[in-house]
Chain A
Amino acid sequence: NAGVTQTPKFRVLKTGQSMTLLCAQDMNHEYMYWYRQDPGMGLRLIHYSVGEGTTAKGEVPDGYNVSRLKKQNFLLGLESAAPSQTSVYFCASSPSRVVTEAFFGQGTRLTVV
């Protein structure tokens, strides 16, 4: 049972390049989330999804887009990467939004130069 898997684990981008981060979960969870974690800032919610075909904005959505075409996958896209998007990105899933824990992927370390 893999849980939550993120790909890639590391990436270096040049400013202006685009990329997609993939999150896959095999626990049949309804809710999925993308967070970024920066030193001194804690985890901040970028976007989330409450089910297949739905997405919603979190605290810091600007510069990112997401899609949830299949229940098990949640994609995070950067259309034109900026150095301010250098961060560690974590995907998480949970069976419900409020009352239960969230399970995290191992993270993607993204550097934009």
Chain B
Amino acid sequence: RKEVEQDPGPFNVPEGATVAFNCTYSNSASQSFFWYRQDCRKEPKLLMSVYSSGNEDGRFTAQLNRASQYISLLIRDSKLSDSATYLCVVGNNRLAFGKGNQVVVIP
């Protein structure tokens, strides 16, 4: 089983709509959780950390479910500039990256 699994998509989202996706992780001892954003041909950049209590940053909401070992990201009121690949990242003794969820926001 892969350490971090994501459905690559693409997720085609009308502008202004809400999109949500999950990733699952296999190591129950994982200690840290992040969502990274990667634009085409660019380096990954931290979008937000993910906590058990859930956290929100503007239009972005992240949740962690330790019991079921999944992390979610929700984007509200999608903008064209949200088009990117969103990488789920889980940390234990090293950072493990999912393959990413590709989001395409359509005008």
Query: Which of A's residues lie within 8 Å of B, judged by CB?
Result: 33, 35, 40-43, 45, 48, 58, 90, 94, 97-102, 104-107
Q: List 19 A-B contacts (CB under 8 A).
A: A33-B95, A35-B97, A41-B99, A42-B97, A42-B99, A43-B44, A43-B97, A45-B95, A90-B44, A97-B94, A98-B31, A98-B91, A98-B93, A101-B34, A102-B95, A104-B43, A105-B43, A106-B43, A107-B41
B50 to chain A, nearest CB (A): 11
A57 to chain B, nearest CB (A): 11
A19 to chain B, nearest CB (A): 20
Interface centre among B41, B97, B98 (most CB of A within 10 A): B97
| B72 contacts A by Cβ under 8 Å | no
Closest B residue to A56 by beta carbon equals B94
Closest A residue to B98 by beta carbon equals A42
Interface of A is mostly: loop
Q: Bound state CA distance, A84 and B12, in angstroms? A: 32
| B61 contacts A by Cβ under 8 Å | no
| B59 contacts A by Cβ under 8 Å | no
Question: B32-54 toward A: CB 8 Å interface, digit per residue (1/0)?
Answer: 10100000011111100100000
Chain B's interface size range is 20 to 34
**Residues on the B chain within 8 Å of A33, using CB:** 94-95
**Residues on the B chain within 8 Å of A107, using CB:** 41-43
Contact (A48, B94) CB under 8 Å given A42-B100, A98-B31: yes
| B69 contacts A by Cβ under 8 Å | no
| B92 contacts A by Cβ under 8 Å | yes
**Residues on the A chain within 8 Å of B94, using CB:** 33, 45, 48, 58, 97
Contact (A90, B43) CB under 8 Å given A42-B99, A101-B34: yes
**Residues on the B chain within 8 Å of A106, using CB:** 42-43
**Residues on the A chain within 8 Å of B44, using CB:** 43, 90, 104
Contact present for A98 and B43 (CB under 8 Å): no
A64 to chain B, nearest CB (A): 16
